[in-house]
Structure 1
Amino acid sequence: MPSQAKAYAAQSATTPLAPFSFERRDVRPDDVAIDILFCGVCHSDLHTARGEWDGTLYPCVPGHEIVGRVTAVGGDVTKFQVGDLVGVGCMVDSCGHCPSCQASEEQFCETTGFVGTYNAPDTVLGGHTFGGYSDHIVVKDRFVVKVGHDEQDLAGVAPLLCAGITTYSPLRHWQAGPGKKVGVVGIGGLGHMGIKLAAAMGAHVVAFTTSADKVEDAKRLGAHEVVISRDPEAMAAHAGSFDFILNTVAASHDLDQFMVLLRRDGTMTLVGAPEHPHPSPSIWNLLMGRRSIAGSPIGGIAETQEMLDFCRDHGITADIEIIPIQEIETAYARMLKSDIKYRFVIDMASLKQAA
């Protein structure tokens, strides 16, 4: 039988998130039921709930950085058992058959596109999917990952399911590691994870920020050097020296100031999606160094598991502030002011007290 879920939802683009109830599907043979313990708060949640991206389906229950405990498994499930600590990220389904899905790159599903954890067509119940701002979730087993961190670290693990994999995937793809000089542009929810991961991979990490007050924090996170990107002399000192730059800034800005820092055959990968397009970069900066501008979304499920295991082995979690679900609107307001170091995480036990 379907189960009743408690959640917080936005009923429209202009109404605050408030208590909401809905039905989760019954556990099918290949499903895993999860009691949600913590859910990270991503900027995507805010954009979607507020209708700032086209296509928001209301009521909207955001949340795709989910950590919880397995409460039931279907008869065909062999990888998980009741009591396991697990995670669910941005996807809950894909076609499973196209070349990308067969290559464990479900985020690039070529047939239907991946099914988002929220605000996507629900292929089982109809309607649309509801995310992690809820007390439990039922997910196909191949879209569930195992969490190996200690239980006291679970809140800090939640943002790894989006911010972690969004930065880990390009760092791995472009082979950040010993002997490589890696830049991370922006020190926020994504950037702080990029610094931690690149440093743990063994790269020489240079953080770029517009804020002088973030210099010491960037070093604490693992940056070997920090550059104030508004300082032309400091920027010029690194010209032509980077193997790879991870640009996490989600605001329109001048890409050329970073392109000239790449060495021959260097790549700058964009993981932030700005509200307005970046100014067109100079073609000469690309031609004369055979440099590349690339983009990268999240990673596939296998790579997400790899990332979680890497973070477990290197003691990496996100820097977080834990909030009750009742303070989600305050958290959104603070996110708009960048008043968080560096991710909010909801303690879902607070949902039991929701009116």
Structure 2
Amino acid sequence: MNSSRRTGPGARAAIVLGCLCAGALLAGCSGGPGSARTAAATPVTERAAPAQRSAEALQGDYEETIADVLPSVVQIRGRDDLGSGVVYDDRGHIVTNAHVIGNERSFRVTTAGSEQPLTAELVFSYPEQDLAVVRLDSVPKGLRPAAFGDSGKVRVGQIVLAMGSPLGLSSSVTEGIVSATGRTVSESEDNGGTGATIANMIQTSASINPGNSGGALVDLDSKVIGIPTLAATDPNFGNSAAPGIGFAIPASMVTTVADQIIKDGKVTDSGRAALGITGRTVVDEQQRPAGVAVVSVTNGGGADDAGIRPGDVITRVDDRSVTTITSLSEVLAEDAPGDRVKVTYLRDGAQSTVEVTLGEI
């Protein structure tokens, strides 16, 4: 936290003291000494004690939450990349982002209680949701799993803390609020990103910097409500980071994916809808994105059953426009396997619409 912005009890006391001085001077201008003493001293004194107690309680909540959760947040280092992770269980499983893992299989993990890095191996990486699980080769004594909360109960405006290793600074904590929920965000493939489109992301004002990925977004009940994954960038300023706009994968998706990986060694039920095609973005005569050209169709998939063929250009799904492969991913992120949607496409210049039963990624 910036030292110039004091938000603890000391800062609040200084503000109250300033009000007392100002109140006494103003009252003295409009009346005698007695009226100044009566008008200023009593009301401000009555307000000061509850305000100070409230500030002390909030400070205590911050400190208790950090003490509870920070020992469960680890630093993960591969050959080239560095990120964060969260201890998932007492068997040494750690959940993190797939883009932290990259193409590597072996890692060095520094826990809160280890003087030297521990070795870990990849269990499974699931780039489609930008999640992965690694497992420590040897589980140290006292390894503390984090408690994961119900991300369905996350409220806009609630205070959250982001914990991880930004810029390699292990055990770092930033604070903010939940700015929005239910965001659908597409991750760039630049700088090692997976290119995944992820639905129901939590937007937060807590600082998310390189190295925070895979760490913990925590509420003041010491529950992990999300895994910080992305920071927004501003294309108007050379794709520099947009301060105060970060995104976290909700805990409900994290636990769904992690439980399957730990049990089966892979994701068996993604809950993510798919048309059953591979495609690429096409542009019109003005070089503007104009749809998704079907490159291949999965045999027996939804698109195949509906008669969609390679060379078709998809332009709409239901009433939602499709101009790029990213926008198609974002549209499908709002649907579920088994849903029936109307897909509009162009074939040899003629438009057709068919009903497709969505499959699963």
TM-score bracket, shorter-length normalisation: under 0.3
- With normalisation by structure 1, the TM-score equals 0.27
- Higher RCO, 1 vs 2 (CA within 8 Å, ≥6 residues apart): 1
TM-score by length of 2: 0.26
Q: Could you say which structure has the higher strand fraction?
A: 2
